[in-house]
Amino acid sequence: MKKVALIGCGALGGIVARHFDLAGEGWELTTVMAKTLAHAERLAEETGAAAVATIDELLETKPDLVIETAGIGAVKAYAETVLKAGIDLMIVSIGALADREYYKRLETAALSHGARLYVANGAIGGFDAMCTYRLMGADEVTITSTKAPKSLKGAPGLGERVLSETEDEVVFEGSMEEAIAGFPKNVNVGVATAVVTERADTKVRIVSRPTAKENGHFITIRGPRLHAEMMFCSEPDPVNPRSSTSTAYSVLAFLKNLHSPVVFF
């Protein structure tokens, strides 16, 4: 039985913890961490895990795997420490990897200390196809994300702009780096697409759609010998509308796949 520690006790972390049995046999959730200890304690009471508030306390429990569901800030605060301790890490906040220098630091930390950094599919899928097409020579990658105005509310990239409650609006078009700077809680999928395909010039487009009841992501990959179009739609989490509930379940699916005698790539 491998021990798992969870960083993040919010909406997504709560789903992972409360449905941890879906990860299958071989995993045990032993520790949950939140900066506010009371938040971790509430989730710990429901799951039987230990509650901690610092990364040092988490590492003292000697987990085999740490899962992050707490946001880009948590990845940047704790990821390198976990990997340098020789512990495997799974992240959902792939937006942190938009910083290429930081990405290389995590890669080096994992290589140097015998750990692995896993990246969950999150709100989309198709990483298998993206990896395959990357090797075949994908030379044009675009992603359009469609969300309700409330899901975009508060994004730095909006400034003082008030989004329409009746009309569709294109609120952003540009590079992955610009997208994560302006919409850090909304474009994890854009960063994921750029990182997995190794196309730093991935074109990101964000559309505000007042009638949207789902977060939608449409990805196009083109190359001399390939053409793929992938669409993923999922309901926003009712507690945190900036995230899709499917992100939490992608963690559980990954754990199940990782420990299964039959692996789907």
Cβ atoms within 10 Å of 239's Cβ, excluding its own: 12
Which residue's entry shows tokens 């702009």? 161
CA–CA dist 137, 221 (Å, integer): 10
Are 100 and 41 in contact by the 8 Å Cβ rule? The answer is: no
Burial class (CB in 10 A: 0-12, 13-18, 19+), 169: middle
Nearest in space to 230 (alpha carbons), one of 105, 138, 163: 138
DSSP string, 87-119: -EEEES-GGGGGSHHHHHHHHHHHHHHT--EEE
For residue 71, what are its two tokens? 């946001």
Cβ atoms within 10 Å of 97's Cβ, excluding its own: 26
Model pLDDT, residue 138:
86
pLDDT in tens, 34-50: 999 999 999 999 999 99
**Residue 204 backbone phi and psi in degrees, to 5:** -115, 135
Sign for the pseudo-dihedral over CA of 55, 61, 64, 69: negative
Nearest in space to 69 (alpha carbons), one of 217, 239, 265: 239
Sign for the pseudo-dihedral over CA of 136, 142, 148, 149: positive
Write out residues in the chain with pLDDT < 70, as ranges. Answer: 241-242
Which helix (DSSP H) or strand (DSSP E) does residue 234 occupy?
strand 226-234
Model pLDDT, residue 264:
82
Model pLDDT, residue 225:
86
The helix, strand and coil proportions of the chain, stated in percent and rounded to the nearest 5, come to: 40, 25, 35
Are 83 and 89 in contact by the 8 Å Cβ rule? The answer is: yes
Catalytic site residues? 217
Are 69 and 248 in contact by the 8 Å Cβ rule? The answer is: yes
CA–CA dist 242, 120 (Å, integer): 17
**Residue 112 backbone phi and psi in degrees, to 5:** -75, -20
